[in-house]
Amino acid sequence: MRHLIKYNLLVKLRNFNMVFWPLVFPLIMATFFFFAFGNLNDADFETVQVALVKESANPVFVFFLDQVQSGDSELIALHEMSEKDALDALSQKKISGIYYEQAIPGLTLNGQGIPESILQSVLESYENNLHTLQTILKKHPSGLLSALRQMSDTKDLVREVSLDGKTIDGNSQFFYALVAMGCLYGCFIGFGSVITLQANLTALAARRCITPTHKLKLILSEQIASFLLGYADVIVLLLYLRNILNLDFQGQFGKMLIISLFGSLIGVSMGLFIGSLSRLNEGIKIGIMLAISMSCCFLSGLMNGSMKDTVEKHAPIINRFNPAALISDALYCINVYDDASRYYRNLITLIVMSAALVLASFLLIRRERYDSI
């Protein structure tokens, strides 16, 4: 048996489709994703240009804007103008908005976007702070100086983190979905293996079927070799993401390997199962295999980061049985949420699906009989 597994692995490593799609293609995609998304969180945003039109004195509002402008974040840049000049600059998109210094400050915008949202947020922050100060003056006037000192501190006091304190990177989901794709692309290995066992498809399969080696050994050696190669490909992908691209996979690597093991089993078994459908020609089988694997990856968020959440909102049952969604969700549980119950639920579902596919593909291959070869 070991002899058969060894040479089955060597044969598969020399097959382009069994090496490129499950291994090389995910590595290429990971590299593209890294250059596309890897440095987005460190991107520098331009300071928002805004005009200030003085119509009536409101030194508190002007002081507040000066504090925002002089803060470490360099959020806005104020330009004092007349109303006519400000409107001209706004129409020419030299500025993103106009603040009016009035008893009740005003804001004029000429569109919707991130700069406009920032200006609106600054104005709302002023109004909230003013309301707070007025309340303090009425109820606790002695605490006014302390409140002013705290409000003038413009350091970032809030960070987006998960419940256990791990920083959330919104782009991580693309890489988790990519790992899921790498697992499901093991279907090319399984499909290539089953082709070599069907005498009606290739001359090589015909020669193998008439050898004295028991057919059960042939089937098991092919399945074991396919699983080993598919799992090795996913491990290489994980190591590449973790150690070469230095992605922040903070969770336990052992748990990631367990999820990847059963994800690989599903991918390879899917290829074995579809390849065992003897009444369909090879082209149709490949089309079915690609349609299933890419649909699962799409719904897990590989092409659209919000797709998995959309499915969860409108059709959550799909995420409970979509292997790509289960794999990516389990990786998210390990690296971000640290949700043990959710992780084990995904793992158990993957184990059951893997066992069902392995058994079904084995039975389909074993029952093949030929009147003549």
8, part of any domain: yes
160, part of any domain: no
- Tell me, yes or no, whether 245 and 275 share the same domain: yes
The C-alpha atoms of residue 65 and residue 329 are separated, in whole angstroms, by 43
- Tell me, yes or no, whether 10 and 74 share the same domain: no
236, part of any domain: yes
And the tokens for 254? 């052992």
- Tell me, yes or no, whether 52 and 12 share the same domain: no
Q: Which of 121, 152, 183 represents a domain boundary (last residue)?
A: 152
- Tell me, yes or no, whether 57 and 135 share the same domain: yes
- Tell me, yes or no, whether 233 and 277 share the same domain: yes
Among residues 133, 90, 100, 98, the alpha carbon closest in space to that of 119 is found at 98
Q: Are 97 and 109 in contact (CB under 8 A)?
A: yes
What total number of domains does the chain contain?
2
283, part of any domain: yes
pLDDT along the chain (373 residues), means of 10: 89 91 94 75 69 87 82 79 92 92 89 84 84 74 60 48 53 90 95 80 67 78 94 96 84 90 94 84 90 95 87 92 95 82 94 91 72 51
- Tell me, yes or no, whether 114 and 215 share the same domain: no
The CATH number given to whatever domain includes residue 101 is: 3.40.190.10
Find the angle CA(193)-CA(195)-CA(199) to the nearest 5 degrees: 130
| 274 residue type, one letter | I
Tell me which residue range forms the domain holding 73: 44-152
Write down the pLDDT at residue 313. 87
The C-alpha atoms of residue 328 and residue 322 are separated, in whole angstroms, by 10
- Tell me, yes or no, whether 287 and 200 share the same domain: yes
Cβ-proximal residues to 64 (8 Å cutoff; 6+ apart), any chain = 126, 129
